[in-house]
Structure 1
Amino acid sequence: MFHHPTDSAPRAHTLRVLVVEDNLLIAETLCDALETWGCVVVGPVPDLPRSLALLDQDPPDAALLDINLGGTLSFPLAEILEKRGVPFVFMTGYDDGVVFPPEFREVRRLSKPFDSKDLTEVLEVWARLARG
């Protein structure tokens, strides 16, 4: 799913990225890629209750959210992240006909499987935001 980062990949060592993904293999691969890029991974967590609990225990700078977590949508978590000013993107493995609330229709979505270029673009934006 991912290639190793190149020299042009962002060095986002100060970014704490929450990973919310219910597929263990995808979560592990994603976490490995983020760590390779210098991010600190918060999680991964496979469901909404654990992700909500982790927000207060270990606040992230940004988040990658699987849209469908075993039949539960991650929009409640996205609402909280948005209120806290934490940038996030949605991840989806298929076009599941999810109707996005109006406030999330313009949020970037990564279609799984995605490659390092997709994730690198997201990390570059987050790194710029973090630098202010």
Structure 2
Amino acid sequence: MTALLDGLRILVLEDEFLIAMDVEQICRDDGAADVAIARTLEEADAAISSSAFDAAVVDLRLGNVSTIPFAEKLRQDGIPFVFASGYTDLTEIASSFPGASIVGKPYSGEDLVAALTAARKNKQR
């Protein structure tokens, strides 16, 4: 059976080091060829400026900073993404990104991989 993320390059925007490392391992275990971790919006901007990504996992908030503008940039660039969030009020996401994949923290590896796969399939339509 082929891994769902086989050969993909994934960007992970996550400020919590242990969560970022966990997401990286989940993606690699499911076949991702490369996983880049960005802990700030500046690092994320630099990453997408210098490399091509097949998908991204975006933490909804980095400390007190919203990642909505970065997600909008991903959408404009045609990079499918999944929001990861520990917040329960996701009204802002629902209105700005209808149909966006949101994985609640804590999440399982299966949930994350399924959401990334769905985001990629939805983008290709």
TM-score, normalised relative to structure 2: 0.84
2:82 corresponds in structure 1 to: 89
Unmatched runs of 5 consecutive residues or more in structure 1? 1-6
Helix, strand or coil at the partner of 2:92: coil
- What is the root-mean-square deviation of aligned Cα atoms in Å? 2.6
Partners of 1:130 and 1:107 in 2: how far apart? 11
Q: Which runs of 5+ in 2 are unaligned?
A: none
- How far apart, CA to CA, are the structure 1 residues paired with 2:45 and 2:7? 22
Give the AA of the match of 2:24.
C
Aligned counterpart, 1:68: 61
Q: Which structure has the larger Rg over C-alpha atoms?
A: 1
Deviation for aligned residue 1:128:
4.8
* Corresponding residue number in structure 2 for 1:106: 99
The alignment of Structure 1 onto Structure 2 pairs a total of residues equal to: 125
Out of 39, 46, 50, the position equivalent to 1:53 is 46
Q: Is the 8 A contact 1:61 1:87 kept in 2?
A: yes
Provide Cα deviations, 1:87-125, integer angstroms capped at 9, x if missing partner: 111000132566337331431110000112212312433
Distance 1:30 1:36 in 2: 10
Q: 1:117 aligns with which of 110, 119, 125?
A: 110
Displacement of 1:126: 5.2
Displacement of 1:62 in angstroms is 0.6
- The counterpart of 1:36, out of the listed 29, 44, 52, is 29
Identity %: 30
Shifted more, 100-109 versus 15-24: the winner is 100-109
Letter of the 2:106 partner, please give it.
P
What code does the residue aligned with 2:7 have?
A: T
Q: State the structure with bigger RCO (CA 8 A, min sep 6), 1 or 2.
A: 1
- More helix per residue: 2
